[in-house]
Homo-oligomer: A and B are copies of this chain.
């Protein structure tokens, strides 16, 4: 089976946003053995959308659209599909009720244009939207399956994973199974070099590397006649990968580093506190994003100014003067102070220069020190990172989380 993806939205044609929906859908569809032949992007324009739908229908078993399902006049996807297939638009009562209770809950008046969001072409299967007000839908017409998702990536990805993928899987004959391994501490080209034999000889399972910011992921996908067989093929390949580069793998289930660390803290009932300077609360923010973490997370102290480092963590003025705020000595005093105040099982402190200003020849932008302790184990790490402010903060976060992960396991 093959598929065309049509992204709808003038903002895409204006270059105001990047089309991440097509990337996500292409990955997912390829995983389950559906070939993506085309991406199309059209604006909020009914006649051009209609022409594109007609053109895509010539070539595609499946057409997926994203965007244009909202309440406003320029949201035209459903109406255009209904007109093209000569179907009536029907109000979907369960979606209507859901929308009403949403507006009641947020205490806002529901304007009449919202009704547009809960009407669908006759015969459509409605896909619930767990993160927004516009549901999606699936409709079939003369052998072509059309699936329409809302445009916001969070709404679309959730709707695909939880409501649409099963429908597509029911149409394919082969079973696909795939696992995403996540690596930290190894670059994409080095990983490819280490695995060159496996990658060159791949047929089934296939191995595809993905570069993410500061880390690498590897998707292993097998197809087989039944699920058990596909799982076995994938597991056998993972065993070979683990033998070569196992020490860099931090997740076998496509988890984010922060989720791996957060869950492990909770599972082992380890308390944690953080002291952040250059990352400015980013590590706290990410770790407290893990549901249930209040069980483990005691507090974070974002000591951005030197005054705050002295007052909150008891860093000596002398240390700051002699070694500077960005130094191993300051990082050590920060973490010792934090441990003294909080008594948390794990304490971590980080200080560095995120840029763009503040760098010198001796201490350039990207210089970061991390100190961490867990019981009698005390470790420090010096990083020299490249990139802009945002990237330096994100890489610092990943290194800090990886240190916590290793402390827990040690």
Binding site for B on A (CB under 8 A): 7, 10-20, 22-28, 30, 36-45, 48, 51-52, 55, 59, 70-74, 102, 105-111, 113-114, 130-131, 152, 154, 178, 180, 187-190, 192-193, 199-200, 208-211, 213, 219, 274, 276, 279-285, 287-289, 291-292, 294, 297-305, 307-308, 311-312, 341-342, 355-358, 384-391, 393
Contacts of A391 in B (CB 8 A): 131
Q: How far is the CA of A379 from the CA of B72 in the complex (A)?
A: 35
Inter-chain contact A19/B16, CB cutoff 8 Å = no
Tell me which residues across on chain B come within 8 A of A192, comparing CB atoms: 71-73, 111, 113
Q: Does B41 lie within 8 Å of A39, measured CB to CB?
A: yes
Question: Hey, which chain B residues are within 8 Å of A305, CB to CB?
Answer: 294, 297-299
In contact, A208 and B298 (Cβ under 8 angstroms):
no
Query: Is the pair B294, A304 in contact by a Cβ cutoff of 8 Å?
Result: yes
**Set of chain B residues within 8 Å of A355, measured between Cβ atoms:** 291
Q: Are B308 and A304 in contact (CB under 8 A)?
A: no
Select which of B24, B48, B190, B211 is within 8 A of A111 by beta carbon.
B190
Is A193 in contact with B113, judged by CB distance below 8 angstroms? yes
User: Distance in Å from the Cβ of A281 to the closest Cβ of chain B?
Assistant: 3
Q: Chain B residues near A299 (CB, 8 Å)? A: 301-305, 308, 312
Asked if A14 contacts B26 (CB within 8 A), the reply is: yes
Residues of chain B contacted by A211 (CB below 8 angstroms): 70, 152
Tell me whether A389 and B291 are in contact (CB under 8 A): yes
A15 near B30 (CB under 8 angstroms)?
yes
Q: Provide the bound-state CA to CA distance between A210 and B12, in Å.
A: 11
Q: State whether B188 touches A72 (Cβ < 8 A).
A: yes
Least Cβ–Cβ distance between A303 and chain B, in angstroms: 5
- A23 near B15 with CB under 8 A, answer yes
Given known contacts A109-B190, A301-B302, what 5 new A-B pairs fall within 8 Å (CB)?
A14-B36, A18-B23, A37-B42, A280-B297, A294-B305
Kindly identify which residue among B73, B111, B281 contacts A199, using a CB–CB cutoff of 8 Å: B73
Tell me what chain A mostly uses at the interface: helix, strand, loop, or mixed: mixed
- By a CB distance below 8 angstroms, the chain B residues around A304 are 288, 294, 297-300
Q: Report if A302-B289 is in contact (Cβ < 8 Å); known contacts: A26-B15, A208-B14.
A: no
With both chains docked as a complex, state the minimum distance between the C-beta of A269 and any C-beta of chain B, in angstroms. 14
Q: Is the CB of A292 within 8 A of B210?
A: no
Minimal beta-carbon separation of A320 from chain B (angstroms): 14
A402 to chain B, nearest CB (A): 16
Q: Which residues of B are found within 8 Å of A59, using beta-carbon distances? A: 48, 51
A317 to chain B, nearest CB (A): 16
- CB pair B105–A386 under 8 Å, yes or no, is yes
Task: Report 27 cross-chain contacts, Cβ distance below 8 Å, ordered by A residue.
Answer: A7-B39, A12-B26, A13-B26, A13-B30, A13-B36, A14-B30, A15-B26, A15-B27, A16-B180, A37-B45, A38-B41, A38-B48, A55-B55, A71-B188, A72-B189, A72-B192, A106-B386, A111-B193, A280-B284, A280-B289, A280-B297, A281-B284, A288-B302, A291-B356, A294-B358, A298-B305, A299-B308
Q: Is the CB of A388 within 8 A of B131?
A: yes
Q: Across the interface, do A107 and B25 meet the contact criterion of CB distance under 8 Å?
A: no
Contacts of A285 in B (CB 8 A): 279-282, 284-285
In the assembled complex, the Cα of A307 lies from the Cα of B17 at a distance in Å of: 44
Q: Known: A111-B190, A281-B302, A308-B298. Is A219-B288 also a contact (CB below 8 A)?
A: no
The 9 closest A-B pairs by CB, nearest first: A280-B288, A281-B284, A15-B26, A15-B27, A300-B302, A39-B41, A281-B281, A299-B308, A281-B285
How far is B273's CA from A311's CA once the two chains are assembled, in angstroms? 14
Contact (Cβ within 8 A) B36 A25: no
Residues of B near A193 (CB, < 8 A) are 111, 113
A41–B5 Cα gap in the complex (Å)?
Answer: 9
Complex: how many Å from CA A39 to CA B107?
40
Kindly state the separation between the CA atoms of A299 and B309 in the bound complex, as whole angstroms: 9
Bound-state Cα–Cα, A289 to B16, Å: 22
